[in-house]
Structure 1
């Protein structure tokens, strides 16, 4: 289990790597500081108007580089079609950079950010608008990227661990066996949910990853963008939010929400969060952060109850 001192040292190393990489690319990062440190260390490379994002906590069996390249491509394409979005910095090449063992990306700094309540009901029209644009994305993305192999490896790591009780792990594995075919391939999804369309979606709570400024709202954080049902982005947002999404979706020509798919995606999200317990040795604060989600899952009826 990483100690708080070791985590702080990791953060400093990530900051130093971002500063070194930015400086080598011609940026003045003499006043750089860390502004966020959870799964990624986010570094404001001041006085340059650039922010570096440096992943430091990654699941076993995954690599940041492929996801980062897709994220950069999607962000650039969205900007090119007029979508308000956080964009890769124009001061450096729009590609992942590896420095001192850290893979990182560089983004245009957003200023005048205003506090937000992250209300999913209020933000659902923005999610529908994003879906309507992403449905036309011409590039390649994965199918449920990041999920293939991740859950199985995480459950293996939790075997015999005190992070999850043995009976909980057995239940999680049983539910995952039933649901995993739907996220492993388009054919598997179609077999389980015939006639339900999939498209490129944000992949990671898009309503939460909106940045509000004094004069606009920007989409951000496309690390998990990929092909999936729209319900993957809507899981656990609540009926009122789903209704708000559907109101906007109908006007945009999108399909309505399939409640069967939504229920399945919510359980897959639950299992994704349970699997996140395997990351606790890299990020101990996850114990507290995941506790309510795991308890809610534990209290629910086993899938497909």
Structure 2
């Protein structure tokens, strides 16, 4: 049983009724950091599962509005429905205009759109700095004791401390930029006319551009992207991360970052319960090529 999905579905019905939307036949698109539903009204409802949502989501909405005003290809908040975000039964809810996707976006499109994003000025309002990308993993290790053995927790503490020290020693000549924060190909939507828009701004921050770039390289390492995919991405962006001295450290930090959500969700999400041991096993064995999954493998 997926408790996260069940809890979110119950909230969806009531919160939609409160703003005059029809939740009947709502389609669950995914459950991870958010439970994401698509309504018949061409509205996407995102119900946050993360504990810091109330402090984070007002900034996420502000950035999405600002980017839309700049003409940047992004999903748009459905602000005409209500003042956002809503808090309902302790969960933070946001509403977005649905973007019909048609076909698979390419890593070339992702490289071009990230290049455009990183050339924009930083928005004129406070944004968090990406100073400690493993902060949420560290918090989950300390507070989700029921899903980790004492040996796993000890190993994770030491490894997170080591990688944090190595992250802090990285140097980049490029100025800090506006980061998407989770610039993975699955957060790019290809529209019917072929152009693409970027969605899921929950990780937005100011920091080194390399953090946005590493997701595609990590996608080859863990999630099935090909070397050709990475080559196309690097060509479109205009820079290849593989030539940077900090690349090995950044890939290892990204590896560790990618288990945090599954530690947090393992007690209530069947997929996280299965995926967490897979990822932990490969990390503790030092296996840098083991395949990981974003959804249940067929």
Which TM-score applies when normalising by structure 1? 0.76
- The whole-number CA distance in structure 1 between the counterparts of 2:46 and 2:208 is 28
- The whole-number CA distance in structure 2 between the counterparts of 1:8 and 1:240 is 36
- The whole-number CA distance in structure 2 between the counterparts of 1:287 and 1:141 is 33
Q: Give, in angstroms, the shift of residue 86 of structure 1.
A: 0.8
Question: Which residue is 1:132 aligned to?
Answer: 119
Secondary structure at 2:19's aligned position in 1? Answer: helix
1:50 to 27, 43, 50: 43
**1:197-248: CA deviations, max 9, x gaps?**
4322111134220111211311111001112222212221446555434433
Question: Any conservation in 1 of the 2:107–2:233 contact (CA below 8 Å)?
Answer: no
- The whole-number CA distance in structure 2 between the counterparts of 1:241 and 1:132 is 23
- The whole-number CA distance in structure 2 between the counterparts of 1:299 and 1:122 is 35
**Unpaired segments ≥5 residues, structure 2:** 221-226, 289-298
Which TM-score applies when normalising by structure 2? 0.78
- The whole-number CA distance in structure 2 between the counterparts of 1:137 and 1:182 is 29
- The whole-number CA distance in structure 1 between the counterparts of 2:150 and 2:74 is 43
Compared with structure 1, are the counterparts of its residues 226 and 259 closer, same or farther at alpha carbon in structure 2 (3 Å cutoff)? same
Compared with structure 1, are the counterparts of its residues 281 and 195 closer, same or farther at alpha carbon in structure 2 (3 Å cutoff)? same
- The whole-number CA distance in structure 2 between the counterparts of 1:145 and 1:18 is 35
Compared with structure 1, are the counterparts of its residues 34 and 249 closer, same or farther at alpha carbon in structure 2 (3 Å cutoff)? closer
**1:133-175: CA deviations, max 9, x gaps?**
3x5433321123894642222112355x5x4454444333222
Residue 277 of structure 1 pairs with residue 263 of structure 2: yes
1:179 to 156, 163, 166: 163
1:200 to 157, 161, 178: 178
- The whole-number CA distance in structure 2 between the counterparts of 1:148 and 1:271 is 7
Question: Which residue is 1:41 aligned to?
Answer: 35
RMSD: 3.1
Question: Which residue is 1:230 aligned to?
Answer: 209
Question: Any conservation in 1 of the 2:170–2:246 contact (CA below 8 Å)?
Answer: no
Q: Give, in angstroms, the shift of residue 44 of structure 1.
A: 3.2
- The whole-number CA distance in structure 1 between the counterparts of 2:84 and 2:263 is 31
1:260 to 238, 245, 257: 245
Aligned 1:136-147 pairs, distance under 5 A: 136-144=122-130, 147=133
Question: Any conservation in 2 of the 1:120–1:207 contact (CA below 8 Å)?
Answer: yes
**Unpaired segments ≥5 residues, structure 1:** 184-188
Question: Any conservation in 1 of the 2:19–2:82 contact (CA below 8 Å)?
Answer: no
- The whole-number CA distance in structure 1 between the counterparts of 2:245 and 2:148 is 28
Aligned residues: 275
Compared with structure 1, are the counterparts of its residues 132 and 50 closer, same or farther at alpha carbon in structure 2 (3 Å cutoff)? same
